[in-house]
Chains A and B, each alone.
Chain A
Amino acid sequence: MEAKKILLAEDDPKDVELTLAALAEYNLANEVVVARDGAEVLDYLYRRAQFADRPAGHPVVVLLDLKMPKVDGLEVLRQVKSDPALKTIPIVVLTSSRQDQDIVESYDLGVNGYVVKPVAFDRFVEVVKRIGLFWVLTNEVPPGTIGC
């Protein structure tokens, strides 16, 4: 039985709490894995360090914050999208920044979507819900990528 996982890459604990709360409103929070910085994201995707024993399979989407310590979002994007084993994983940047340079560079690196976190809570919830619903329920992934 496939478990569709969402990988949430976010260093701010408040934003983690809010995103989980938003996803929970639509019953999408069950299979959310939280990575606190870019290094943890890569460890999860490569199944190493504390994630070495997790079941094989890609997340259906990675919600990627850009400003994270150790390895930042753009660097994660660069590594994942240039690795043939990982590049098919959908990645949606979820960030506070609307700076043109960040948007351009993300798309240059092959991001699948770029979303600016709304400041107003109800709009934030709406946005997270739509992202979750689309990638978890509507989108199709290559067969065999999300689990055995």
Chain B
Amino acid sequence: MDLLVGTKSCEFVHISPGEIHEDGLGTIIKDKSGDIIGYQSSVLDISDQKQAEEELRAYRDHLEKLVAARTAELDRRVAEVEQLNQGLTNLLDDLQAANRNLEETTGKLEAVNEELEAFAYSVSHDLRAPLRHIDSFAQLLLKRQAAQLEPTSARYLQNIAEATGKMGQLIDDLLALSRTGRVEMNLRPVAVDEIIEKAREELAPMLAGRRITWKIAPLPAVRADPGLLLVVWTNLLSNAVKYTAPQPQARIEIGATPPGDEGQVTFFIRDNGVGFDPLYAHKLFGAFQRLHREDEFEGTGIGLATVRRIIHRHGGRVWAEGESDRGATFYFTLREAEGE
């Protein structure tokens, strides 16, 4: 008997319960005349295979999604970096332009400084000679004519001599002020008590015959230029001595507060002198500013301006408190010396 075999394969999916995939292979058996005489089928449960395929597909999809996400992320990051890069390049350009500006300005400042040096030299040398001549010939005239001059004329000559003396002092003070702005600072640990001792020695002529009670506390060492610091204390001390002159018993107190944050020490010098009107406190440190008349107290009005310039060059602050006839206190800050 001849058998005709036709094969067909198909998938069957049972809907419930659970998904089961079956791969069926069916064979139709026919006899010679074409009548179907039988079937043969075999079914292979390919559920596991299907599940594996599903899982693989799911993993692949997931992976593709991850890759896409990561790629998008990377693209975003790259874009950010490029933007930052561009920003940095612009910043660099700006910095270089600013640097060139700075160099130009520094050059100009150096030129101005040189002019100031030349000016200061001219002042120190060229102005002094005629000043000396005025004073000298006035004095010589006074001597030669002393017998013949009437009191008023003699007084006129005396005024000339005094005025030139005042002018000489002014020149010296101005030069000192200008020097404090120009001279190179030599910062190092400085014992403040030694500086104050030196200042008192320098002021010895002023102190002769004065009754002054001194109260000087132990003082910390600071980081400063010793020469300039001496100028500060000499000026402050000389003011204290000068403005306590009317008091029967002058009292001058010097002390310091312990270093606060940032290592700044605050020094103070307090006197019981004539003080000043707080209304004009803002004028105290201006150049040529005086709060007392020349016939009350002599002075050029530069001392405190010099003090302020020096303290500012040291990065500190300076200020004052006072009342009329109730004395004055001057404060300033400096950095404490390290590693003492």
Which of B126-134, B146-154, B318-326 forms contacts with chain A? B126-134
How far is A67 from B124 in the complex, measured between Cα atoms in Å?
Answer: 13
Residue of A whose beta carbon sits closest to that of B179 = A100
Find out whether the CB atom of B124 lies under 8 angstroms from the CB atom of A97.
yes
Closest to A65 in B: B129
Contact call A117/B139, Cβ cutoff below 8 A: no
Q: How far is the CB of B173 from chain A (nearest CB, A)?
A: 13
Q: How many chain B residues have a CB neighbour from A under 8 Å?
A: 19
Q: Are A12 and B129 in contact (CB under 8 A)?
A: yes
Q: Is the CB of A121 within 8 A of B135?
A: yes
Report chain A residues within 8 Å CB of B129.
12, 15, 96, 117
Residues of chain B lying within 8 A (CB to CB) of residue A96 = 124-126, 128-129, 132
**Could you tell me if A18 and B128 are in contact, using CB atoms closer than 8 angstroms?**
no
Closest A residue to B165 by beta carbon equals A120
CA separation between A85 and B210, bound complex, in Å? 55
Does residue B119 face the partner (Cβ distance < 8 Å to A)?
Answer: no
Q: Which of B121, B128, B132, B139 has the most CB of A within 10 A?
A: B132
Once the chains bind, are B136 and A99 in contact (CB under 8 Å)?
no
CA separation between A12 and B133, bound complex, in Å?
Answer: 10
B164 at the interface (CB under 8 A from A): yes
B167's closest neighbor in chain A, by CB? Answer: A119
- How many A residues have CB within 8 A of the partner chain? 18
A120 to B248, CA, bound (A): 32
Across the interface, A18 reaches (CB within 8 A) one of B125, B133, B164, namely: B133
Whether the Cβ atoms of B136 and A121 lie closer than 8 Å is yes
List, in ascending order, chain B residues with CB within 8 A of A118's CB: 132
Taking CB atoms, residues of chain B closer than 8 Å to A67 are 125
B186 shortest CB reach to chain A, Å: 14
- Which residue of A21, A98, A117, A120 contacts B140 across the interface (Cβ within 8 Å)? A21
Instruction: Tell whether, in the assembled complex, residue B132 and residue A99 are in contact, meaning their CB atoms are under 8 Å apart.
Output: no
Query: Within residues 56 to 95 of chain A, which ones have a CB less than 8 A from any CB in chain B?
Result: 67, 95
**Chain A residues near B177 (CB, 8 Å)?**
none
A18 — which chain B residues lie within 8 A by C-beta? 132-133, 136-137, 140
Kindly identify which residue among A21, A97, A98, A119 contacts B132, using a CB–CB cutoff of 8 Å: A119
| Cβ-defined contact, B124 with A117, below 8 A | no
Interface status of A54 (Cβ within 8 A of chain B): no
Q: How far is the CA of A18 from the CA of B131 in the complex (A)?
A: 13
Is B161 among interface residues, defined by CB-CB distance under 8 A? yes
Contacts of A122 in B (CB 8 A): 139
State in angstroms the CA–CA spacing of A98 and B121 once bound together.
9
Which among B128, B137, B138, B140 is the interface contact of A119 at CB below 8 angstroms? B128
User: In the complex, what residues of B have CB within 8 A of residue A98's CB?
Assistant: 124
Chain B, 251-287, contact with A by CB distance < 8 Å: what is the 0/1 string? 0000000000000000000000000000000000000
**Is B168 an interface position by the 8 A CB rule?**
yes
Question: Judging by beta carbons under 8 Å apart, are A124 and B136 in contact?
Answer: yes
Q: Please tell me which one of the listed residues B121, B125, B126, B161 contacts residue A121 in the complex, with CB atoms under 8 A apart.
A: B161
- In the bound complex, how far is the Cα of B165 from the Cα of A78, in angstroms? 35
With A98-B124, A99-B125 in contact, is A119–B131 under 8 Å at CB? yes
Q: Which of B124, B135, B161 contacts A99 (CB 8 A)?
A: B124
List which B101-142 residues lie within 8 A (CB) of chain A: 121, 124-126, 128-129, 131-133, 135-140
CB distance from A101 to the nearest CB of B (A): 9
- Considering the complex, give the chain B residue whose CB is closest to the CB of A99: B121
Q: How far is the CA of A119 from the CA of B172 in the complex (A)?
A: 11
B121–A119 CB distance below 8 A: no
Could you tell me which residues of chain A, from 3 to 62, have a CB within 8 Å of some CB in chain B? 12, 14-15, 18, 21
List 15 additional contacts besides A96-B132, A118-B132, A120-B165; criterion CB under 8 Å: A15-B129, A18-B136, A18-B137, A96-B124, A97-B121, A117-B132, A119-B132, A119-B164, A119-B165, A121-B132, A121-B136, A121-B138, A121-B139, A124-B132, A124-B136
- Chain B interface residues (CB < 8 Å from chain A): 121, 124-126, 128-129, 131-133, 135-140, 161, 164-165, 168
Residue ranges of A at the interface with B (Cβ–Cβ < 8 Å) = 12, 14-15, 18, 21, 67, 95-99, 117-122, 124
Can you report 29 residue pairs joining A to B where beta carbons are below 8 Å apart?
A12-B129, A14-B133, A15-B129, A15-B132, A15-B133, A18-B132, A18-B137, A18-B140, A21-B140, A67-B125, A95-B125, A96-B124, A96-B132, A97-B124, A97-B125, A98-B124, A99-B121, A99-B124, A117-B128, A118-B132, A119-B128, A119-B164, A120-B132, A120-B135, A120-B164, A121-B132, A121-B136, A121-B138, A121-B139
A-B residue pairs, 3 tightest by C-beta: A119-B168, A121-B136, A121-B139
